[in-house]
């Protein structure tokens, strides 16, 4: 699933998304359900919720997934508005905006795993395309993606400490999202949610580690170059074009590395899943994507690329 090259970029206004492929949940999906009185209480609550939701007659699964995603978008948007009213310090507000954006991104992509597993990559791609457009218009200065801050460090726009701090808030928001997802999945309102809340998860990496890192890095580089070019050209429907490019790259990498293009997304959804060690996960989804993002800075600024992209424009000016 691809939601990494689709994070919001403060400088260019584009989204940088990465993707979760069709697997089970994540490390937290392997958590052991509560036991004893807690389990009895939880089961009672779930039965009541199922009755209230009419779960005895299952809603159409795709409709449930769409409503799940819509609920997440509404909650995240409400949290952002509340944050704007209550938090006056601009830097603290940015940190919390990043956490909210990462939470929203990862929670939606957990559900996109359900969509991909049960309705195919085409349905997944349509959902992702629409979501990336929504995020581009609603995330403000947030990116929910660590390598955008690494780019800022390379360009001299921020320092390493700030980049690490922002990335930590993003990672926290992404990791917390599973508890929210687990709660909703536990309701089992649709057939596709059955046994997913506490099920096993497996890695999306289907190629050797170095190949996976190369795929994540190359696709991230291409995505960032396209986004930066669109932000300068500012063509009509640039957001939709950017979303189409990122979604296409995600779908292309879907069966190989999962097409995450976002370290926070990959870690929140797949860290600890069977099939990869910690080192392999970091190499593919953190090192690979981050090197691709850094490479995009230098490739984009190269005179040959600038001339290729903007040569005619400069002559007109």
Domain assignment present for 42:
no
Side-chain-side CA neighbours of residue 120 (13 Å): 2
Domain assignment present for 19:
no
Backbone torsions φ then ψ of 18, nearest 5 degrees: -130, 180
For the chain, the domain total comes to 1
Domain assignment present for 36:
no
* pLDDT tens for each residue of the chain, 317 residues long: 555 565 455 444 445 555 544 444 443 443 444 555 555 655 665 555 555 554 444 469 999 999 999 999 999 999 999 999 999 999 999 999 999 999 999 999 999 999 999 999 999 999 999 999 999 999 999 999 999 999 999 999 999 999 999 999 999 999 999 999 999 999 988 899 988 888 888 999 999 999 999 999 999 999 999 999 998 888 889 999 999 999 999 999 999 999 999 999 999 999 889 989 999 999 999 999 999 999 999 999 999 888 887 775 544 44
Note down the domain range covering 104. Answer: 58-310
d(CA 92, CA 230): 30
Q: In this structure, what CATH number is given to the domain that contains residue 249?
A: 1.20.1080.10
d(CA 234, CA 219): 22
pTM > 0.95: no
Domain assignment present for 140:
yes
Domain assignment present for 147:
yes
Domain assignment present for 34:
no
Domain assignment present for 292:
yes
Domain assignment present for 53:
no
d(CA 317, CA 315): 5
203 contacts 276 by C-beta, under 8 angstroms = yes
Q: Is 3 helix (H, G, I), strand (E, B) or coil?
A: strand
Instruction: From 298, 218, 297, select the one nearest 12 (Cα to Cα).
Output: 297
């Amino acid at each position: 699933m691809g939601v990494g090259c689709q994070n919001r970029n403060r400088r260019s206004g584009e989204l940088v998304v990465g993707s979760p492929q069709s697997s089970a949940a994540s490390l937290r999906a392997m958590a052991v359900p509560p036991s004893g009185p807690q389990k009895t209480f939880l089961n009672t609550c779930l039965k009541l919720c199922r009755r209230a939701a009419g779960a005895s007659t299952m809603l159409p699964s795709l409709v449930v997934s769409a409503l799940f995603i819509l609920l997440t978008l509404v909650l995240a948007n409400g949290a952002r508005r509340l944050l704007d009213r209550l938090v006056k310090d601009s830097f603290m507000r940015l940190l919390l905006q990043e956490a909210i954006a990462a939470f929203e991104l990862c929670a939606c992509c957990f559900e996109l795993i359900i969509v991909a597993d049960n309705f195919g990559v085409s349905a997944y791609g349509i959902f992702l395309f629409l979501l990336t457009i929504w995020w581009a218009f609603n995330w403000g200065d947030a990116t929910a993606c660590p390598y955008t801050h690494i780019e800022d460090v390379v360009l001299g726009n921020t320092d390493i400490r700030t980049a690490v701090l922002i990335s930590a808030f993003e990672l926290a928001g992404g990791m917390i999202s599973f508890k929210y997802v687990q709660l909703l999945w536990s309701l089992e309102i649709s057939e596709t949610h059955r046994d997913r809340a506490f099920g096993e998860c497996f890695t999306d990496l289907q190629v050797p580690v170095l190949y996976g890192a190369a795929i994540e890095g190359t696709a991230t580089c291409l995505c960032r170059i396209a986004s930066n070019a669109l932000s300068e050209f500012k063509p009509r429907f640039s957001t939709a074009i950017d979303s189409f490019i990122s979604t296409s790259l995600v779908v292309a990498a879907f069966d190989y590395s999962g097409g995450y293009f976002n370290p926070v997304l990959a870690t929140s959804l797949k860290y600890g899943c069977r099939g990869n060690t910690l080192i392999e996960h970091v190499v593919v989804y953190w090192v690979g994507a981050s090197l691709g993002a850094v490479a995009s800075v230098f490739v984009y600024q190269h005179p040959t690329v600038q001339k290729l992209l903007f040569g005619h424009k400069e002559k007109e000016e």
